[in-house]
Amino acid sequence: MSATDTQAGANSLRSGPDGRGRFGIFGGRFVAETLMPLLLELDAAYRAAQADPEFQRELDFYLKDYVGRPSPLWLARRMTEQLGGAKIYMKREELNHTGSHKLNNVMGQILLARRMGRTRIVAETGAGQHGVATATVCALFGMKCAIYMGATDVERQKPNVFRMRLLGAEVIPVTAGAGTLKDAMNEAMRDWVTNVHDTYFLVGTVAGPHPYPQMVRDFQSVIGVETREQIMAAEGRLPDAIVAAIGGGSNAMGIFHPFLDDLEVKLIGVEAAGCGLDSGRTAASIERGKPGVLHGNRTYLLQDEDGQITEAHSISAGLDYPGVGPEHSWLSDIGRAEYVGATDQEALDAFQLCTRTEGIIPALESAHAIAYAAKLAPTMGKDQIIVVNISGRGDKDIFTVAEHLGVKL
């Protein structure tokens, strides 16, 4: 990816956000005044980095030799045969160092933080994938690192907590609220407000105040840029559909963005429906939420009539968030992308399907995307193509899956 890949003409769907950091009515910068000057500084620093070929060269170097890019695009033959419909390709982000797409963004932001002279990194994490990626680059560059993680998630993602600590990060369990990603985000913001002088807030998804949704999207767009080249090489044409899981939505935004202007490519985001879209225990912010303001941006949020944010539920800690990136909210409203749900059970089934047919153990997050692709493929012709983003590997989830399968490890 180069910085120019993410820039487009004014009539392009890829030109957002506007000068105020908005995608339509979504996005913006709803933060305490203490943070506003920091966000303006970050915006300026990011623009300068984008315009500096040296920054891109440095990022490309680390993406290739440290992250392990490009990641392969794999034709899932056995799954395709079993489902009996469209050809399913898998974008293998789980093969990145640290096991997920998270490192693409984290590598970009840590290089930016270094340029800005920051010495301490603070981050929030749900499943721990972003936390592990952040702790990894902090180890690589010798930066201090504090990771906020909901106490519930600390419990259900023990291996990742141990990894972060091995990498030298301080993992701070957050007991407020339900002890999940939303609460970790609040706590990370409090830390940042307190330590603005030396601390960089390394946001893990395409949410938060401007310029984070744009910046994270740009760094993740490497997924879509590669996918485009790879599918052209393999099939000589673009895919009919791209399917990706959505929590905050960074892996989805990364693979969608380079295709936004290719209207013949259907873009499908799969939210975590939890126990069912209408069960009251869901994390499907676009499908069951309303526009509102949380964590610095306006976006679809799970909330009650009085504007209080409600707890999300998903079997996957990485999707267990009551909001979504503002660009997704906009893409949904204008109808460019379609948002659907997959339940906990559907994700568990897809987890096993992928593992048994392809020998790839996907993250529970990614299993939501696979679940929908498995529903979609049989409805399509054998000459059609679906690309599923396998955003992460499932090693971290085997304990959760075992428990649901009634297996004691």
Partner 1 sequence: MSRIARRFATLRAQGRGALIPYVEACDPDYDTALAILRGMPAAGADLIEVGVPFSDPSADGPTIQKAALRGLKGGSTMKRVLEMVSTFRKDDDETPIILMGYTNPIEAYGPERFCTDAKAAGVDGLIVVDMPPEEADLLAGPAAAAGLDIIRLVAPTTPDARLPIVFNGASGFVYYVSITGVTGTRTASTDELAAALPRLRKATDLPIAIGFGIRTPELAANAVSVADAAVVASALLNTLEGTLDADGKATATTVPAVLEQLRALADAVHAVSKTGSK
Q: Which among 144-152, 181-189, 219-227, 361-369 is the span making contact with partner 1, rule CB under 8 A?
A: 181-189
Minimum CB–partner distance for residue 10 and partner 1 (Å): 22
Residue 124 appears among annotated catalytic residues? yes
Residue 391 appears among annotated catalytic residues? yes
Question: Is the Cβ–Cβ distance between 193 and 203 less than 8 Å?
Answer: no
Phi and psi torsions of 361, nearest 5°: -90, 105
Minimum CB–partner distance for residue 340 and partner 1 (Å): 26
Kindly tell me which residue out of 32, 48, 51, 334 binds partner 1, with binding defined by CB under 8 A. 32
Pairwise CA distance, residues 59 & 54, whole Å: 9
Check binding of 33 to partner 1 (CB under 8 A): yes
Check binding of 281 to partner 1 (CB under 8 A): no
Please say which residue, 185 or 337, places its beta carbon nearer to partner 1.
Answer: 185
Asked if the peptide bond before residue 291 counts as cis, ω within 30 degrees of 0, the response is no
Question: Is the Cβ–Cβ distance between 329 and 300 less than 8 Å?
Answer: yes
Minimum CB–partner distance for residue 105 and partner 1 (Å): 21
Check binding of 149 to partner 1 (CB under 8 A): no
Q: Which among 255-263, 285-293, 361-369, 379-387 is the span making contact with partner 1, rule CB under 8 A?
A: 285-293
Q: Which residue has the tokens 């592990």?
A: 132
With contacts defined by CB under 8 A, how many residues of the chain interact with partner 1? Answer: 38
Pairwise CA distance, residues 13 & 19, whole Å: 15
CA dihedral 32, 34, 37, 43 (to 10 degrees): -50
Binding mask 83-122 for partner 1 (x = CB under 8 A): ----------------------------------------
Q: Which among 29-37, 127-135, 271-279, 333-341 is the span making contact with partner 1, rule CB under 8 A?
A: 29-37
Structure tokens at 247: 């929590």
Q: Which among 126-134, 267-275, 293-301, 354-362 is the span making contact with partner 1, rule CB under 8 A?
A: 293-301
Question: Is the Cβ–Cβ distance between 221 and 258 less than 8 Å?
Answer: yes
Q: What sign results for the dihedral spanned by CA atoms 299, 301, 307, 309?
A: negative
Residues ≥6 apart with Cβ < 8 Å to 22:
16, 28, 210, 298, 326
Question: Is the Cβ–Cβ distance between 227 and 74 less than 8 Å?
Answer: no
Check binding of 194 to partner 1 (CB under 8 A): yes
Residue 229 appears among annotated catalytic residues? no
Q: Annotated active-site positions, please?
A: 102, 124, 391
| Footprint on this chain of partner 1 (rule: CB under 8 A) | 20, 28-38, 176-177, 182, 185-186, 189-190, 193-197, 290, 292-296, 301, 303, 305-310
